[in-house]
């Protein structure tokens, strides 16, 4: 009985195979076979779709009229709903039943242009030669001193009468021991650099301010005071750091006040770590308040002093904030400011990231601190103009542009980001409004339309989409369905193993900058990543400095040497990622 059943099953299988073969052969041999071709607008609508067509095997489809959808650009007809495989009505032929889907892209600002004045990087084959050729506009860099390139260190921003004054510790070039220099701007797009120092470090080796450290400017009854750190690391000095001051009736030059100083209070138990005074004037009390970074009992703190408007009567008010994250030597470049009904304390933890803590009162108590951006946006302080608030810091650089292992050198370019606050009171950094005004020329992508889908298993899949111009902005949306990584890959030398990547990691809920195709970690920031969710990005790059923004979620400052003049790729690994509304602009 069992044997008969096996024979019967085998016979049925053979019959089925024969039927399939016969059907296939019949199709190939029957040029008169006809198939239905139907059309889908690929979104919910009551509009009538083009009529179905009946087409013989090997025949061509008659192209219907282009559909119209409000707020969208029609891309063409595709064989898949994701609009990745376009149907060519002039070449493609019908071999079976067919559904063609309309492809759409959100209507995007500007018509595509083809300028003929893009900087040619083809002969600039080294990262150093590219860096030397950049003309920084938005991410200010000081003029060269002969062949020496100076950099922007800790910034001390101040605003008055439509002008943003960015005082900064100038590193290298003609600057003596981090003297304070000044650059001004009205729009964050054009900068005017003052060539002479505003405040010069003392050239006497025995002076307390043989080196100048971070400070701040405050206006009191018509006089401008510049509080700063006087640093001298000599073993002969009792105090390594003191708070000092200079004064002026203008904002472009200051005179040091001889003999005036604040030394660490004995309560701190140390004389070496006492820096970065941030000054505020309280008109209601007529007092100047200073917040200072210092350590106590080996723990990083922020402390407070109060003094009279004539600089007398400096009083130590104690600790207002204690580092709770552990492992940080000090909390550099502190600042406090108010947005809405909340007060924010910001600081850069030594060689780490920018942090912020929230309080109901200006000087605490504070909630646990949170990071903002990554390690390449450092020493940032806020400035406000009565309408908006901004964080002004420096974008970290590498010790050498040719390094593919680190971005860790002190000082770099000016980076300004707009501050916004979420409904829960968290701080976010966003692109400056003026970026839309700067990047007006929409450029052609390296893919047709504005959509790209990247699907990959264990091997990384790349797709060229953008160009790395000297100065540009990329925007778009994305969603993903897997658990693997994806993002943007920047060609460094033509070899995939040297690609520099901005990589999204759903498994860790971070977006990170990595070199050498992901094997060298540089910096990262937290980002909640969930499959099926929609994300919008803006990426701005000038020269080797870039900032990625994920709308409503995070920012990440990056440094990418040696990538100009090459394609920027989308990539995925163990994931399926759909990018939509892709566009790129140059100035």
Spatial separation of the C-alpha atoms in residues 414 and 392, rounded to whole Å:
7
Spatial separation of the C-alpha atoms in residues 488 and 503, rounded to whole Å:
7
| Residue 380 CB-density burial (10 A; 0-12 exposed, 13-18 middle, 19+ buried) | buried
Express each pLDDT in 413-462 by its tens digit. 999 999 999 999 999 999 999 988 899 999 999 998 899 999 999 999 99
Confidence of residue 282 (pLDDT cuts 50, 70, 90): very high
519's tokens: 């094997």
> Which residues, in sequence order, are CB contacts of 98 under 8 Å at separation 6+?
35, 36, 37, 38, 55, 61, 79
Confidence of residue 3 (pLDDT cuts 50, 70, 90): very low
Phi-psi region of 574 (alpha: psi -120 to 50; beta: other; left: phi over 0): left
**Mean pLDDT score, 315-341:** 93
The per-residue pLDDT for 46 is 82
Helices (H), 41-192: 127-133
The per-residue pLDDT for 7 is 43
Mean pLDDT (the chain, rounded): 93
The per-residue pLDDT for 45 is 84
Q: Is the pLDDT of residue 490 over 90?
A: yes
Q: Is the pLDDT of residue 107 over 80?
A: no
Q: Is the pLDDT of residue 160 over 80?
A: yes
**Mean pLDDT score, 211-227:** 98
**Mean pLDDT score, 263-276:** 97
Q: Is the pLDDT of residue 227 over 60?
A: yes
Spatial separation of the C-alpha atoms in residues 57 and 28, rounded to whole Å:
9
Express each pLDDT in 63-101 by its tens digit. 999 999 877 888 899 999 988 899 999 999 999 999 999
Domain 436-586 has CATH 3.40.50.300: no
- Rounded to 5 degrees, φ, ψ at 130 are -65, -45
Partnered with residue 281 across adjacent β-strands are 288
Confidence of residue 109 (pLDDT cuts 50, 70, 90): confident
SS3 content of the chain, % helix, strand, coil (to 5): 10, 45, 45
Candidates 500, 497, 489, 493; CA nearest to 454 is 489
3-state secondary structure 405-466: CCCCEEEEEEEEEEEEECCCCCEEEECCCHHHHHCCEEECCCCCCCCEEEEECCCCEEEEEE
Candidates 238, 181, 180, 167; CA nearest to 208 is 238
Class of domain 31-106: mainly beta
Candidates 522, 529, 521, 477; CA nearest to 504 is 529
Q: Is the pLDDT of residue 158 over 50?
A: yes
The per-residue pLDDT for 5 is 46
Domain layout of the chain by residue ranges: 1-29, 31-106, 138-430, 436-586
81's tokens: 């709903």
Spatial separation of the C-alpha atoms in residues 279 and 227, rounded to whole Å:
7
Phi-psi region of 146 (alpha: psi -120 to 50; beta: other; left: phi over 0): left
Q: Is the pLDDT of residue 9 over 60?
A: no
Phi-psi region of 95 (alpha: psi -120 to 50; beta: other; left: phi over 0): alpha
Confidence of residue 308 (pLDDT cuts 50, 70, 90): very high
Q: Is the pLDDT of residue 151 over 80?
A: yes
Confidence of residue 11 (pLDDT cuts 50, 70, 90): very low
Express each pLDDT in 36-50 by its tens digit. 999 999 988 888 999
Domain 138-430 CATH superfamily: Glycosyl hydrolase domain; family 43 (2.115.10.20)
The per-residue pLDDT for 241 is 98
Count CA atoms closer than 13 A to 540's CA, side-chain side. Answer: 22
Neighbours of 581 (CB within 10 A): 18
Q: Is the pLDDT of residue 21 over 50?
A: no
Task: Give the whole-number percent of the chain exceeding pLDDT 70.
Answer: 95
Strands of 238-314, DSSP E: 241-248, 255-256, 274-282, 287-296, 299-308
211's tokens: 């080196």
Q: Are 378 and 348 in contact (CB under 8 A)?
A: yes
Q: Is the pLDDT of residue 20 over 80?
A: no
Candidates 74, 87, 88, 65; CA nearest to 43 is 74
Express each pLDDT in 428-440 by its tens digit. 999 999 988 899 9
The per-residue pLDDT for 569 is 99
Confidence of residue 2 (pLDDT cuts 50, 70, 90): very low
The per-residue pLDDT for 484 is 98
Q: Is the pLDDT of residue 496 over 80?
A: yes
Dump the DSSP string for 353-385. Answer: -EEEEEESSTT--BPPPEEES-TTEEEEEEEE-
Q: Is the pLDDT of residue 242 over 90?
A: yes
Dump the DSSP string for 162-220. Answer: TEEEEEEEEESTT-SSS-EEEEEESSSS-EEE-SS-SBPPPS-TTSTTSEEEEEEEEEE
Do 31-106 and 436-586 fold alike per CATH?
Answer: no
303's tokens: 């402390």
Q: Is the pLDDT of residue 31 over 80?
A: no
The per-residue pLDDT for 449 is 86
């Amino acid at each position: 009985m069992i044997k008969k059943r096996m024979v019967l099953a085998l016979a049925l299988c053979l019959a089925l195979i024969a039927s399939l073969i016969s059907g296939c052969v019949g199709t190939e041999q029957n040029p008169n076979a006809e198939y239905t071709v139907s059309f889908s607008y690929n979104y919910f609508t009551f509009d009538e779709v083009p009529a179905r067509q009946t087409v013989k095997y090997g025949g061509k489809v008659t192209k219907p009229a282009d559909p119209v959808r409000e707020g969208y650009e029609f891309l063409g007809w595709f064989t898949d709903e994701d609009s990745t495989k376009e149907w060519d009505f002039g070449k493609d032929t019908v071999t079976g039943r067919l559904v063609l889907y309309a492809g759409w892209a959100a209507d995007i600002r500007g018509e595509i242009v083809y300028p003929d004045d893009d900087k040619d990087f083809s002969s600039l084959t080294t990262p150093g030669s590219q860096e030397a050729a950049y003309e920084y506009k938005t991410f200010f860099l000081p003029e060269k001193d002969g062949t020496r390139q100076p950099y922007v260190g800790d910034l001390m921003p101040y605003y008055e009468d439509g002008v943003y004054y960015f005082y900064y510790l100038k590193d290298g070039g003609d600057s003596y021991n981090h003297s304070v220099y000044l650059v001004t701007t009205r729009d964050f797009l054009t900068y005017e650099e003052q060539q002479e120092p505003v405040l010069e470090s003392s050239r006497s080796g025995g002076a307390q301010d043989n080196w100048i450290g971070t400070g701040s400017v405050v206006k009191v009854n018509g006089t401008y005071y510049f509080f700063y750190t006087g640093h001298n690391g000599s073993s002969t000095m009792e105090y390594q750091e003191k708070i000092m001051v200079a004064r002026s009736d203008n904002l472009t030059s200051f005179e040091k006040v001889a003999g005036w100083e604040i030394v660490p209070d004995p309560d701190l138990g140390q004389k070496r770590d006492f820096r970065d005074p941030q000054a505020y004037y309280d008109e209601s009390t007529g007092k100047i308040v200073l917040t200072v970074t210092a350590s106590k009992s080996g723990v990083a703190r922020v402390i407070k002093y109060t003094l009279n408007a004539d600089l007398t009567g400096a009083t130590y008010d104690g600790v207002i904030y204690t580092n709770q994250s552990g492992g940080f030597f000090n909390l550099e470049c502190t600042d406090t400011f108010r947005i809405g009904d909340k007060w924010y304390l910001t600081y850069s933890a030594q060689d780490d990231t920018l942090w912020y803590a929230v309080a109901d009162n200006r000087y605490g108590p504070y909630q646990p601190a949170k990071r903002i951006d990554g390690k390449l946006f450092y020493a940032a302080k806020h400035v406000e103009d009565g309408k908006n608030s901004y964080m002004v810091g420096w974008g970290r650089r590498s010790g050498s542009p040719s390094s593919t292992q680190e971005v860790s050198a002190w000082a770099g370019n000016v980076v300004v980001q707009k501050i916004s606050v979420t409904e829960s009171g968290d701080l976010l950094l966003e692109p400056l409004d003026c970026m839309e005004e700067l990047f007006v020329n929409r450029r052609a992508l390296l893919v047709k339309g504005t959509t790209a889908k990247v699907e990959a298993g264990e091997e990384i899949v790349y797709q060229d989409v953008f160009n790395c111009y000297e100065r540009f902005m990329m925007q778009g949306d994305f969603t993903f369905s897997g658990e693997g990584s994806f993002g943007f890959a920047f060609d460094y030398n033509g070899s995939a193993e040297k690609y520099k990547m901005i990589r999204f990691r759903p498994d860790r809920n971070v977006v990170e900058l990595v070199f050498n195709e992901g094997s060298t970690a540089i910096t990262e920031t937290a980002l909640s990543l969930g499959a099926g969710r929609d994300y919008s990005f803006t990426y701005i790059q000038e020269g080797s400095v870039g900032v990625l923004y994920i709308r409503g979620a995070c920012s990440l400052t990056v440094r990418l040497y040696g990538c100009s003049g090459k394609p920027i790729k989308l990539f995925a690994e163990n994931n399926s990622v759909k990018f939509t509304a892709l566009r790129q602009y140059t100035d």
